[in-house]
Amino acid sequence: MATDWLGSVVSINCGLTLGVYQGEVSSVDHASQTISLRQPYHNGIRCPVPEVTFSAMDIKELKILDIQNTVNKPISVQGAAAEAGSIPSGRHGQSNRITSTHATSSNSQSSTAPITILRRGSSNSRVATQAAPKRNSVRNGGAGGPMKPKDDECFGDRTDEDMGADFDFEGNLALFDKAAVFSQIDGTNSNRAQHHSTQDEQKPLSYRHDENILEVKPVVYRQITVPQHGGKEYCTDSGLVVPSVTCELHKRLLAAAERWGLSLERRLETIGVCSSQMALTLLGGPNRLTPKNVHQRPTVVLLCGPHIQGAQGISCGRHLANHEVEVFLFLPNFLKMQESVTSEVNLYSRTGSKQVASVKDLPASPVDLVINCLDCHENLLLREQSWYQSAADWANQNRAPVLSIDPAVSEQHQAVEAKWTLSLGLPLPLPKAESRVYLCDIGIPTLVFQEVGIRYHSPFGCKFVIPLHQA
């Protein structure tokens, strides 16, 4: 009966070591308990030998894929295996080592020979020898033969014949009961939610990395109060309210600071550093002031008067010149100047920057920035003088933006239209304009503010110059 299964296509699983073989049954030997396959495949790859022989002890599982030369025979793996020589499956725990032998004929002209796979130690084992098949020097069937298709070369013959019917995706999907599965999922999720809610009641609250775990008091946005309200209120980017002060209260504050050691010279230096830092930012900062951009140095024009506000502008110009900015200082030389202005001019002259006394000597082409320090808090009549009016006209006609440092407060319209305004310590009630207001920290201690009746809490945070917005 074993001859009835000759020509059938079977799959033999020899375990993890030997792998899986498929091929056509060529012979079954009852005496030696072996089965041979013709045109075998090993793990899906065509074997280089035409025939492979297996011992029953190495076979873990045998499946019949296609039955040939049979009529009305029941197809079952167990029955086929019994009739094909009663090949038993290999016992667990035994070694899967194999011995490969081959037989060669003296008159054979073929370059390949059958290979026999037997279990080492069995009664049918022979001397272990291996013959590697010789490959033809010409690929794809020789020099004169036709070239094999790529599919046949990769997958071999009889590939299409062994394939079954197409898989019915729609029919298989119809067997899926979505309602039952989703109801089961919802029930599982509800049970998990109840379990997690019980655990959450027992666990302490967790916080994100940006949340404060300490209990804090509510934020007080009005941290600065003044005895004499200036009439306007500003707010910072964080929402803190900064009220304006009158000119009289501002003078009292500066006088109290001088009594405690914050002299005019120290205040001028602080204002010069902070205003120059703001000006450098307006000029482009690190995008403009780089060693590779020496041929395009920014140009700044300082318009200063012979007073303290003018000295503040000259201090700013000195720091700008130290940062490789081309500075032009306009300061009339026929007027009597204060001592602080003279000392600042002497320091400025050491930078090698230009100083002019006439508007005609200023650059005719547009510059990068104009810094206005023409106004004086003590003497508003300077606006009527010719040098003041000519400098203001030049600034308004130039296309460069204007930064005003500590401008005077007056009911009249500002002579120089500024894009930015820098106030010192606390802002003054400046007239409503399109200028953006900034506040500069000039280093006045908190107790000095309290001495003049101002309850003060610093709104600057980590900066020395902050923007203010109309409240």
pLDDT in tens, 158-189: 555 555 677 778 777 777 778 888 888 887 76
pLDDT at res. 150: 61
CA distances from 374 to 103, 290, 348, 387, 441 (A): 114, 31, 18, 10, 21
Provide the sign of the torsion angle of the four alpha carbons 460, 465, 466, 471, taken in this order.
positive
pLDDT at res. 470: 87
Q: Which amino acid is at 384?
A: E
pLDDT at res. 262: 95
Q: With contact defined as beta carbons under 8 Å apart, do 295 and 322 qualify? A: no
Q: With contact defined as beta carbons under 8 Å apart, do 282 and 311 qualify? A: no
pLDDT at res. 148: 55
**Pairing assessment for the beta strands 229-235 and 61-66 based on DSSP bridges:** unpaired
pLDDT at res. 319: 96
pLDDT at res. 411: 66
pLDDT at res. 468: 94
**Pairing assessment for the beta strands 436-440 and 229-235 based on DSSP bridges:** unpaired
Structure token digits, residue 84: 């094909």
pLDDT at res. 153: 60
pLDDT at res. 91: 39
CA distances from 384 to 68, 283, 374, 457 (A): 121, 32, 12, 40
**Where do the domains of the chain lie, and which CATH numbers do they carry?**
2-162 (2.30.30.100), 229-470 (3.40.50.10260)
pLDDT at res. 280: 95
Q: With contact defined as beta carbons under 8 Å apart, do 80 and 94 qualify? A: no
Those residues of the chain that have pLDDT short of 70 are 1-2, 67-164, 189, 191-205, 213, 215-216, 334-335, 411-412
Q: H/E element holding 247? A: helix 247-259
pTM, 2 dp: 0.56
pLDDT at res. 287: 85
pLDDT at res. 294: 75
Q: Which of 237, 253, 290, 242 is nearest to 463 (CA)?
A: 237
